Structure 1
Amino acid sequence: MPQQIQIDVILTLEDGPINASAMRESVRFFLQGARRDGQITPEDDQEHAMLTDVEVRLVSPGLELPRMLVLSTSHLRQETAQLLEADEAGVIRHEKGEYGWIIPIIDNPSNEPPPNLTDLVGIYGLARSVGATWIMLDRDADTVDGLETWEW
């Protein structure tokens, strides 16, 4: 199964029409192996993963697009989940249907999980390390390496 990574790129364009197709091909060429000297050799193709798809999304300047880290609720201990459910975990959270929560990551000491909730502290740390401004905890989401999981 192909591995997907997300790379945020900010492009500065001269005035004129935007051609998303041409932009996608330029990004594809760059990511597939353009080297400092501009030469791509057969050895490059063997040493590096092959890029199979590039998605280009055009976003109007001035729009704020938050990043959300989506994780399985199994990264929470049952006790922490119960505290979130009762709104007693010490963080702002919004219920996500029946089986999860959405939590804003804001720089405010009043929205920090208490140190004894090490599972939630770890999730906050991961979210901040990837630049997320929101966390979605969902029972159907994937687990990730580096965070402990619990069966409950």
Structure 2
Amino acid sequence: MSASLIYDLAPIGSIVAWSDGTPRPPERHKKKLAAWENRNSEGRLIRKQGKRGIGNVCLTPDFTLHEGDFGAGGIIAIRIHRTFSLDTHPTSKVIERPLLDHVRVFDRAGDNAELVHLAVNRQTAEEWLTRHGYPDAVLDEVTADEVAADHVEGRAAV
């Protein structure tokens, strides 16, 4: 699946894997394996941004994936995000979609909102919000229409 299909068809909260198509090197080749893992991984889709301009520069639409967190003792020190523009060429596929009645917690309303948590229901999302500092957070339930949108315009969103 291309980056533009991920942008068009995958709902926010989906787990997306990407690959450059090269085979995984053996474990004993530590540096080659680390480089391969940098080009072949997966993450949760947390944001989609449309075409926008900054001065005279026009930026293409893109999407951002959350790869993981680093920290200790329940404190996140570093968040790893990866942004793909629609003209990138890795092969991607949706591994997992948010389920019906899951609730997405966005950091704010609007086009630049970013998913900060995916909860199994509204009560869990509200409890999560009481423990985390997002005063402008917006809750968004996954609808039956999104779950049923596996086929759009004859293209499968797998």
Q: TM-score over 0.5 for the alignment?
A: no
- Relative to the length of structure 2, the TM-score reads 0.21
Name the structure where strand makes up a greater proportion of residues: 2
- Relative to the length of structure 1, the TM-score reads 0.22
Name the structure where helix makes up a greater proportion of residues: 1
Task: Determine which structure has more spread, i.e. the larger CA radius of gyration.
Answer: 1
